[in-house]
Amino acid sequence: MAEQAGLAVIERLVGTGALCSTPADEIVRSPNMTLEQARYCPASVGRARIRGKIATVVDQEVPPMPWVAADDGCDIYYETHGSGPAVVFASGFMGITDIWRAQIEALSDSYQCIAFDNRGNGRSEKPLPKIAYGVERHARDLEAVLDATGVSRAVLVGHSMGGNTASTYYFAHPDRVAGIVYVGSYVSGSQIRDVGNTLEAIKTAVATPSGRVGFYRAVGLPEEIAMESAKWPLYSVLGNAESFIVFDMTDKISQITVPCLILHGEKDIVSPLDPCGYGLRDGLPDATLEIFEGVNHCPAVEAPDKANRLIADFLKKVHAS
């Protein structure tokens, strides 16, 4: 009876998103279970007894943790630093918060800086179904993060596919976006395919952990960040690859009427300046293009001081208007 009662408690917690999605009966019946297996998600819950390892469900609050459940239940890891007007950083195919460290450090004295790991990457959940991935899904995850942090309006900063996330979120919620910064981004996946970066070529390049690390090093990321990709399952990597290759906002780009800043590397080998950076500049009604000489696909990481200065100036402009 005691074990059944404990199972019922865990099932209720799992059903409300309070515990991880590991089936409750698997947790209870695993003879080698450790406390670490009973991972908590961001909810104020007590602890459940599992074969006597924890005595009772207690009434005290568990401190909030940096995950939010998206609308499909996927756990999204996020960070928030500083206070002031909100700036939200959306990562791309290298979908982790680490690529924004320099910007967060530089801006968090004056702004609330929020960043999150894309689903399938980093500390966010890595759902298995192919339908769990896509730019639209990333945009809904961004919305979940905004809601979790109580932010009603923000400037969005998106790297590569993260620019797609920002655009897609804007189309759904233009009233919640004060401006957009596109970093190494593009208008359509066809621009990437047309220069030889086809889906098949990318799949081949990232098929192994060592291949993924080599890919990310080749586009301008340091080894310590690139190495993170070796930890991700191949299915989630490929799910995100398909997301950015099929994206296309050619017919809608003129609808983005908020101020925009484009930061683009002169030597970008993923989304080349011509046509990608120039395409954004020419299609957006209110945009400024800043070219980073000698820089590859990751200006915010490769030339952080220049990127920080340009983003800070853009934020001042947006909030002064």
**71-102: pLDDT as tens digits:** 999 999 999 999 999 999 999 999 999 999 99
Of residues 130 and 300, the one with the higher pLDDT is: 300
Q: Tell me the pLDDT tens digit for each residue of 165-190.
A: 999 999 999 999 999 999 999 999 99
Of residues 4 and 88, the one with the higher pLDDT is: 88
pLDDT band, residue 35 (cuts 50/70/90): very low
- Burial level of 295, CB count in 10 A (0-12/13-18/19+)? buried
For residue 63, the model assigns a pLDDT of: 57
Lowest mean pLDDT among 11-20, 203-212, 234-243: 11-20
Above 60 in pLDDT, residue 69?
Answer: yes
Above 50 in pLDDT, residue 307?
Answer: yes
Comma-separated ranges of CATH 3.40.50.1820 domains in the chain: 67-320
* Percentage above 90 pLDDT, the chain: 77
Above 70 in pLDDT, residue 57?
Answer: no
Above 50 in pLDDT, residue 227?
Answer: yes
**The architecture CATH gives domain 67-320:** 3-Layer(aba) Sandwich (3.40)
pLDDT, the chain, mean: 85
Give the mean model confidence (pLDDT) for residues 120-148: 95
pLDDT band, residue 61 (cuts 50/70/90): low
For residue 165, the model assigns a pLDDT of: 98
For residue 64, the model assigns a pLDDT of: 65
Of residues 66 and 58, the one with the higher pLDDT is: 66
Above 60 in pLDDT, residue 282?
Answer: yes
Give the mean model confidence (pLDDT) for residues 233-253: 94
